[in-house]
Amino acid sequence: MSDNILCVKGLKVTYSVGTARIRAVDDATFDIPKGSIVGLVGESGCGKTTVARALTRVMAKAAGFEGGEMLFDGVDLLGLSEADMNKLRWRDIAFIPQSAMNSLDPVYTIEKQLNEVLIQRGGMNRREARARAEELFDMVGIDPRRLGDYPHQFSGGMRQRVAIALALALNPKLIIADEPVTALDVIVQRQILDTLKSLQERLGLSVILVTHDISVVAYVCDRIVVMYAGRVVESGDTETVLTQPFHPYTMGLYNAFPDLQSSEGLLTPIEGHPPDLSDPPDGCRFAPRCPFAQTPCSTQNPTLVEVGSRHVSACLRVDEAQQLREQAAQTQTWMGAI
């Protein structure tokens, strides 16, 4: 029996925009081990949210699957009918959206919105639903007496806790959280992350945490999947990937976030921006921004290769990783890279 709750292999998702076809996710491959929190990280526009929504098959009308597999407990989600997929949503796979205020209906109390899940999807009666709703509020640290309140009566952090409670309603196996703390201040961010981590450990959940913040991944995630321009460029154990990255993009992301233990006040940005996915460059898509790019990088498409235990990277220069890390730690390396 596999120790992975989810195996994504060669996933391709395309958006049709006018006459253009934009492949937002291109041959993405990664695993989600059971009972772990996996961070899906990268800049805006790198395909993280598209992957997250693809896993629930709740996509924009312009989006379509071009290939690949999404094996959830051994069952390919892409092969399921819409009716069968609908049975999995919320019961087995739940979603925590980025903006809880926008996802909660402002004209209904929280209890009514929980009842919609617990009664209509969960088959509970009203007494059972009330008991479960109170239990869920206890889990996320909200007084059950507030079940009768409306979304606008909660702070941003408490609305996010409500969103977590909704996701947990039917005891799913996998939770996908799309930037769940982005709009919150740092103190509330930590409270929400602590709540999520505590619930994950207590309930044995598997969690995909979509974020652009390396510090969030370092704080709460067991594993990390790094995406760039629709592709997975590196994945592995969080501590290993962050301390011994093999892909220059991962090295650059790490440098771009503040180190409170460092006496230097400057951050090292990655100059430029991700490519236009309607006309992506040949070869490695990070090559135009990479200070270590060589001629083959602009023509050869690197594939994921194993560089350690459950650690893979897609770079033509993985054999030189130690040397590249030393150079990547120097700010001047990234100046004038494009």
Contact indicator for 101, 151 with CB cutoff of 8 Å: yes
What residue segments make up the domains of the chain, in order of their start? 101-170, 248-334
Q: State both tokens at 322.
A: 């130690």
Q: What digits encode the pLDDT tens for the residues 48-75? A: 999 999 999 999 899 999 999 999 999 9
> Which portions of the chain are predicted below pLDDT 70?
1, 100-101, 258-266, 336-338
**pLDDT (0 to 100) of residue 181:** 86
Q: What is the predicted pLDDT for the residue at 324?
A: 96
| 8 A C-beta contact, residue 25 and residue 12 | yes
Rounded-to-integer distance, Cα 56 and Cα 52, Å: 7
Planar angle of CA 54, 214, 234, nearest 5 degrees: 60
pLDDT of residue 2: 73
* Structural contact between residues 169 and 162, judged by C-beta atoms closer than 8 angstroms: no
- What is the number of other CB atoms lying within 10 angstroms of the CB of residue 32? 23
Q: For position 269, what pLDDT does the model report?
A: 84
| Token output for 161 | 């806790």
Token representation of residue 307: 């560089």
Query: What is the predicted pLDDT for the residue at 266?
Result: 67
Distances (CA, A) of 138 to 104, 121, 155, 187: 19, 21, 17, 21
Using CA atoms, how far residue 162 sits from 1, 15, 147, 257, in Å, is: 34, 32, 10, 30
